[in-house]
């Protein structure tokens, strides 16, 4: 790419970096894992950037690539059995708020992290206020499928919250 294209990509990335951070936060627990995933997502965005059509929403395109990379990396890590569950490490959200300082936010991330890859992606997009049509487009599902998955996930999360709020008897 020439320097003009690099400048365009830099601007594009600057405008969409929040998406990269949110996906990394949702799919990785340690800061090192988040950094590695962010680099991989940025590399894939760079490779795909010449094919980006400005007629389409940049955030939708970015989410689609970022989620595909995150899900792929997650599956590879599971196969290698190198995906430890350790929520003791420092987690930082996109707004630089420390998650561990907000127990409710930490609990939400823990619960979302326990979902399968597709449901995790759906919830991330849902929490980012994407509508069902946009979520369906990004995830490659029908709008009806998205609606029913979101309903099931919300019910699942409500049950977990209730179990957490009520100590074992």
Break the chain into its structural domains and give their ranges.
3-165
- Cα–Cα distance, 133 to 135 (Å, whole number): 6
* Tokens found for residue 57: 């929403």
Q: Does 99 have pLDDT greater than 90?
A: no
Most confident of 17-31, 38-52, 76-90: 38-52
Q: Where does the pLDDT of residue 86 fall: very low under 50, low under 70, confident under 90, or very high at 90 and above? A: very low
User: Is residue 20 over pLDDT 80?
Assistant: yes
Query: Tokens 């949702």 — which residue?
Result: 26
pTM: 0.66
- Answer yes or no: is pLDDT of 84 > 60: no
- Residue 95 confidence (pLDDT): 39
Q: Is the pLDDT of residue 142 over 90?
A: yes
Residue 119 has pLDDT above 70, yes or no: yes
Given pLDDT bands bounded at 50, 70 and 90, which one contains residue 92? very low
Read off the DSSP letter of residue 92: B
Rounded average pLDDT over 22-36 = 88
Q: SS3 of 91, please?
A: coil
pLDDT at residue number 3: 52
Q: Which residues are CB-neighbours of 84 under 8 A, at least 6 positions away?
A: 29
pLDDT in tens, 51-83: 998 888 999 999 999 999 998 887 777 666 544
């Amino acid at each position: 790419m020439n320097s003009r294209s690099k400048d365009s990509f830099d601007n594009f990335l600057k405008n969409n970096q929040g998406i990269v951070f949110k996906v990394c936060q949702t799919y990785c627990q340690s800061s090192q894992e988040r950094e590695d995933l962010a680099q991989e997502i940025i590399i894939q965005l760079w490779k795909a950037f010449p094919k980006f059509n400005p007629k389409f929403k940049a955030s939708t395109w970015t989410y689609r690539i970022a989620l595909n990379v995150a899900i792929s990396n997650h599956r590879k890590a599971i196969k290698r059995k190198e995906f430890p569950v350790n929520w003791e490490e420092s987690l930082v959200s996109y707004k630089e708020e420390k998650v561990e300082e907000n127990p409710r936010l930490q609990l939400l991330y823990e619960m979302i992290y326990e979902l399968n890859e597709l449901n995790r992606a759906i919830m991330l997009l849902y929490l980012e206020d994407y509508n069902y049509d946009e979520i369906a487009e990004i995830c490659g599902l029908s709008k009806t499928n998205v609606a029913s998955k979101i309903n099931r996930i919300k019910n699942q999360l409500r049950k977990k919250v209730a179990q957490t709020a009520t100590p074992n008897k």
